[in-house]
Amino acid sequence: MSQPEPQATASETGSRRTDAKASWSETLGSLGPIVGLVMLCIVGTLLNGDFATPDNLMNVLTRTAFIGIIAVGMCFVIILGGIDLSVGSMAALIAGCVIMFMNWAGPALGSPLLAVLLGAGLAVLLGAGFGLIHGLLISKGRIEPFIVTLGTLGIFRAYLTYFADGGALTLSNNLADLYAPVYYGSALGVPVPVWVFLLVALVGALILNKTAYGRYVQAIGSNETVARYAAVDVDRIKILTYMLLGTCVGIATLLYVPRLGSASPTTGLLWELEAIASVIVGGAALKGGSGSIVGTVIGAILLSVISNILNLTSIISVYLNAAVQGFVIITVAFLQKGRR
Amino acid sequence: MNRRNVLKSTIAALAFSAALPAFAADPVNLGVSIPAATHSFMGGINYWANQAKKDLEAAHKDLKITIRTAANATEQANQLQDLSSVNKINALVVFPFESAALTRPVANVKAKGAYVTVVDRGLTDTAAQDAYVAGDNTAFGKIPAEYIAKTLGGKGNVVALRGIPTTLDTERMDAFTGVLKAYPDIKLLDAKFANWNRDDAFKVTQDFLTRFKEIDAFWAADDDMAFGAMRAIEQAGRKDIKLIFGGAGAKDMVKVILDGSDPRIGANVSYSPKFIYDAIKLTAEARLKGEKLPATTIIPSVLIDKANAKDFYYADSPF
């Protein structure tokens, strides 16, 4: 659904037969994650009847929401040809800052509700701000995204550890109770985080496929030099894209904080790899240029489903859980190799 | 002051003067090498190490303590080299990041003449150390099992949340299942790794709750995991769980026991990061007197319940 323009142009100029063949293999390839997910769900249901219950499916979707929302932002960055290794640490630091702010603002402002609302705003602002710093360093500072975000990965987590004094930052009880429905509440039988996830994914898909900005992101990822000659303001697009990812991290953190009401230095460990894996399993190319939001969403759900199934059964040695996840990721990537 | 107290203080005074060395011992330059504060427990280790430096340096003018924190095994090995060659330490208290990887570097420090006390995670070759101080991991698994079995009256369904796959975790789990063998009517439904992490514990617990309709007790082998598990139990609205047993005596959990605010949490097992404080104190004071420590000192893990909870509540510690 979001093939970059240069490729699309190439297939248009091809003969009708190769055109049909290409689109057939492409369709098969793009079905990889869906085929993988359906197969996993069948396996899950066979292994444990409780897998297919609405409660369990909602649990899985809700816990996917954090990584999924971050992965939507990550999808843009990867299509742009960039990477962000810091999102897990960033989420942890934002969670810590928001908790500290709310704990201070609750008594100081005299209104817990106001404290929670301002804290929520702060999360998104902080995310966008961190993204802006990344974007500036990468575009204006001309430093590799891998290096910039590898640096901030350490910086963000170290500051959280410092603020938490090596322990955990915990939201005071009255605020936690007020804030809890954001994670635990539901509308029309669907938990709030799932609605937010859906909304972020929809908006993400619209931006990627229907706006000029979205086309520029794909163009830069396909060939940055050509995009520059085509008068695309590459620096501005890059900064905006990292800010978009930061905003997504902020939104994910908003949903994360009410779940446990605390942030510790282990919060968000390895989320960056889960988010990147979701995008790649969902069919994006790590070198940039192509990728889709729908694929990313399916990729994220697929990763959660694996660990859910492993928890619902005990046929495989617990020591091998990570191996099972690795096998499934590689298999799904293989199923859709036609796209790369 | 009654006679018994007079007697007691006299003995104490005598013991104190007897402990004073006849000759002035060399000043002790003690290095402390510990992992960085990346999770609550290590936060506690860092807090107690710094506390020991503060208390002991104030008490002994011949003592200098240098603390180094490392983010991984390689960094710790480098720091050990620096402590030995740059800081010229003559005593070392080390909490190794990994057992095998740090054995050689610690042996090098000892070969240069420093007295070495190893804490908690042991080395693969004990020749590299002079003394070993550790918490009791067997008791850490045994005490919860005994408490759960007793409280459930020898009958019920139990699930367990384990830490990160390591020998230490295996030792605890083996001790736990070992006790349950004596109670055939207690069924350990399953045990999964939740990596000593709240988020992972939340997810694993959600899935346990989906899978098992009747659970009487949770053993979350660390208080961080117990917090995650409790949130998931609350969310599912499950009333069948009668017992949640964490571990390591995090201050928030000890507070719950002290206040009796949650009937499901009646007890915990101590595994306080304070043992680093004890290890530093024992090493420093022994070396100041020119003495050695016993080869192995096990800081006992004991049951924390309402009766003794106040002795395990450290309000200032981050853990």
pLDDT per residue as tens digits for the range A71-108: 999 999 999 999 999 999 999 999 999 999 999 998 88
Q: What is the mean predicted confidence (pLDDT) over B292-303?
A: 88
**For the segment B54-95, what is each residue's pLDDT rounded down to a tens digit?**
999 988 888 989 898 888 888 888 888 888 888 888 999 999
**For the segment A184-209, what is each residue's pLDDT rounded down to a tens digit?**
888 898 999 999 999 999 999 999 99
Q: Does the pLDDT at position A304 exceed 50?
A: yes
Q: Which residues of A touch B235 (CB under 8 A)?
A: 184
pTM: 0.81
CB nearest to A262's CB, from B44, B162, B198: B198
pLDDT band at B103 (very low <50, low <70, confident <90, very high): confident
- State whether B198 and A312 contact (CB < 8 Å): no
Residue of chain A whose Cα is closest to the Cα of B231: A260
Mean pLDDT for chain B?
86
- State whether A265 and B43 contact (CB < 8 Å): yes
Cα torsion A240, A241, A244, A246 to 10°: value is -100
Say if residues B101 and B110 touch (Cβ distance below 8 Å). Answer: no
Beta bridge partners of B186: B156
Which of A4-13, A211-220, A243-252, A291-300 shows the lowest per-residue confidence on average (mean pLDDT)? Answer: A4-13
Nearest CA distance, B68 vs chain A (angstrom): 15
What pLDDT does residue B7 have? 46
- State whether B37 and A265 contact (CB < 8 Å): yes
- State whether B192 and A311 contact (CB < 8 Å): yes
Q: Hey, how many other C-beta atoms are within 10 angstroms of the C-beta on B24?
A: 8
- State whether B197 and A266 contact (CB < 8 Å): yes
Tell me whether strands B63-70 and B217-220 are parallel, antiparallel or unpaired: unpaired
Contacting residues for B202 by C-beta, under 8 A, at least 6 apart: A63, A259, A260, B228, B229, B231, B232
Nearest CA distance, A288 vs chain B (angstrom): 31
Contacting residues for A80 by C-beta, under 8 A, at least 6 apart: A217, A220, A221, A237, A238, A241, A288
What pLDDT does residue B55 have? 92
pLDDT band at B14 (very low <50, low <70, confident <90, very high): very low
Nearest CA distance, A3 vs chain B (angstrom): 35
What pLDDT does residue B74 have? 84
Burial (CB < 10 A; 0-12, 13-18, 19+), residue A130, is buried
Say if residues B257 and B306 touch (Cβ distance below 8 Å). Answer: yes
**For the segment A53-77, what is each residue's pLDDT rounded down to a tens digit?**
888 899 899 989 999 999 999 999 9
**For the segment A225-246, what is each residue's pLDDT rounded down to a tens digit?**
999 999 899 999 999 999 999 9
What pLDDT does residue A218 have? 94
What pLDDT does residue B21 have? 46
Please check whether residue B115 touches A, CB under 8 A: no
Q: What is the mean predicted confidence (pLDDT) over A200-220?
A: 95
Cα torsion B242, B245, B246, B251 to 10°: value is 80
Q: Does the pLDDT at position B11 exceed 60?
A: no
Beta bridge partners of B161: B192, B220
Q: What is the mean predicted confidence (pLDDT) over A37-46?
A: 90
The percent of residues in chain A predicted with pLDDT above 90, rounded, is: 54
What pLDDT does residue A325 have? 83
**B27 or B15, greater pLDDT:** B27
Q: Does the pLDDT at position A220 exceed 50?
A: yes
Q: Which residues of A touch B192 (CB under 8 A)?
A: 311, 318
How crowded is the C-beta side of B191, counted as CA atoms within 13 Å? 19
CB nearest to B319's CB, from A167, A170, A307: A167
Q: Does the pLDDT at position A13 exceed 50?
A: no
Nearest CA distance, A66 vs chain B (angstrom): 12
Q: Does the pLDDT at position A328 exceed 60?
A: yes
Q: Does the pLDDT at position B249 exceed 90?
A: no
pLDDT band at B1 (very low <50, low <70, confident <90, very high): very low
Q: What is the mean predicted confidence (pLDDT) over B202-221?
A: 92
What pLDDT does residue A337 have? 66
Q: Which residues of A touch B43 (CB under 8 A)?
A: 161, 164-167, 265
Say if residues B49 and B66 touch (Cβ distance below 8 Å). Answer: no
Q: Kind and range of the H or E element at B167?
A: helix B167-180
The percent of residues in chain B predicted with pLDDT above 90, rounded, is: 38
**For the segment A128-166, what is each residue's pLDDT rounded down to a tens digit?**
999 999 999 999 999 999 999 999 999 999 999 889 887
